[in-house]
Amino acid sequence: MTLGLLAAAGLGLWLYLLLGRGGFWLCTERDDWKTVALAQRPGVAVVMPARNEAAGIAASARSLAAQDYPCTIVLVDDESSDGTAEIARAALATNGGHQFQVVKSQNLPPGWTGKLWAIKQGIDAAMALRPAPEYLLLTDADIVHPADSITRLVAQARSKGLLLTSLMVELRCKTFAERITIPAFIFFFQMLYPFAWVNNPRNEIAAAAGGCMLIRADALLRIGGIAAIRDALIDDCALAKAFKRHGPIWLALSSRVRSIRSYASLAEIRAMVVRSAYAQLRYSPLLLLATVAAMTIAYLLPPVMAIFGPGAARAMGALSWSLMAVAFLPTLRLYRVSAVWSVALPAIALLYMVFTLDSAYQYLRGRGGSWKGRVQANVSKS
């Protein structure tokens, strides 16, 4: 009887996810919108924080220099030791007429995460320009933009009156570790924050993807500036939540804007997830236990029931596993990964559960939010 109830719970959960959670799994919110011609070109400043990004900064900087939209590019060198700023300067030597400046990050003050402190200094430099820009493009140093990226983002923002326009860029998915984990990362993110709900002004769900965020400068002032979220590890979603209280935001999947950051091993993927997984759960042991229990019922129980369960429990387990695989297919197709991996989602989910538990463990041992030599979890208590 207990096995049957558990199997029924798993099936009910997957029916809800497929039918009642904004169609997240269909991957329909895309950057394939029709670009509306701009009668005027409002000012745009690009703010790009960079800490030891020598591997990708040249390609990212060149893509910004090639933009068909006039802009000022502000690179914030966040205490790099690998020549990041010098590589960027060389890449922008022929900058297509765009202005370019490097801001040397000052000492990190208490209560700030490193990235947000760098962004804050970049925004200050951008807003000191005359005339001040109407929009700020916050982008990472591993992101490569097509030449019309800013044009399209501004056109979308203007046509819909958006305060924040964000793209979940196409992550690199070439190594074995990436092909195992990256599509699932996108799938889980969409499940947590259904993009259709994010884009609905009447729904309180808010999210953004930090690699590419176009924001209105005046709206940023209304929410209190970047200082309003200065201690947030998941800064993009925190910023989106603050903006959505004041107006519409937009989030879409992109196959045009790409990240070139490479994850050669599962250890590197683990570090990326461990950095913020426990912060997503608000450092709550109860939420951690609830998450592990829910993921066990949703992802691990169906294949166990399908293989070892009795009678009706086996049938429900097999159906749940099938629905899970069907839900994963559009994301696999988006990343050009074989559909065969759809049946492996339970094993991949188990891997992410281990990463999440590791995130909690690292937090408890005082290493939470560790990234590029900084420990940043819960910095407001420092």
Per-residue pLDDT reduced to its tens digit, 221-247: 999 999 999 999 899 999 999 999 999
CATH of the domain at 247: 3.90.550.10
Question: Strands 72-77 and 44-50: what pairing?
Answer: parallel
- The letter for the amino acid at 208 is A
Of 264, 282, 307, the domain-final residue: 264
Phi, psi of 139 (to 5 degrees): -140, 155
Q: Are residues 70 and 216 in the same domain?
A: yes
What pLDDT is stored for residue 121 in this prediction? 97
For the segment 295-301, the average pLDDT, to the nearest whole number, is 96
Q: Which structure tokens are listed for 212?
A: 């590419």
In this structure, is residue 378 part of a structural domain?
Answer: no
How many CB atoms neighbour CB 305 within 10 A? 26
What pLDDT is stored for residue 379 in this prediction? 57
Rounded-to-integer distance, Cα 14 and Cα 197, Å: 18
For the segment 47-65, the average pLDDT, to the nearest whole number, is 94
Q: Which structure tokens are listed for 269?
A: 């993927």
Number of domains in the chain: 2
Q: Are residues 110 and 184 in the same domain?
A: yes
- 1 has a pLDDT exceeding 60: no
Rounded-to-integer distance, Cα 69 and Cα 62, Å: 14
Proportion of the chain in helix, strand, coil states, percent, rounded to 5? 50, 15, 35
Of 216, 234, 264, the domain-final residue: 264
For the segment 199-212, the average pLDDT, to the nearest whole number, is 96
Of 244, 264, 284, the domain-final residue: 264
Structural domain that includes position 13: 2-25+267-367
How many CB atoms neighbour CB 127 within 10 A? 17
Rounded-to-integer distance, Cα 275 and Cα 234, Å: 9
In this structure, is residue 380 part of a structural domain?
Answer: no
What pLDDT is stored for residue 218 in this prediction? 97
- Whole-model pTM: value is 0.94
Query: What's the whole-number average pLDDT of the chain?
Result: 93
Rounded-to-integer distance, Cα 345 and Cα 263, Å: 19
- 382 has a pLDDT exceeding 50: no
For the segment 300-310, the average pLDDT, to the nearest whole number, is 94
Q: Are residues 135 and 74 in the same domain?
A: yes
CA-only gyration radius of the chain, Å: 21
Contact assessment for residue 152 and residue 162, using Cβ atoms and an 8 Å cutoff: no
| Residue whose tokens read 């009668």 | 39
Per-residue pLDDT reduced to its tens digit, 134-171: 999 999 999 999 999 999 999 999 999 999 999 999 99
Phi, psi of 48 (to 5 degrees): -130, 105
The number of C-alpha atoms within 13 Å of 356 and in the hemisphere containing its C-beta is: 24
Share of the chain above pLDDT 90, in %: 83
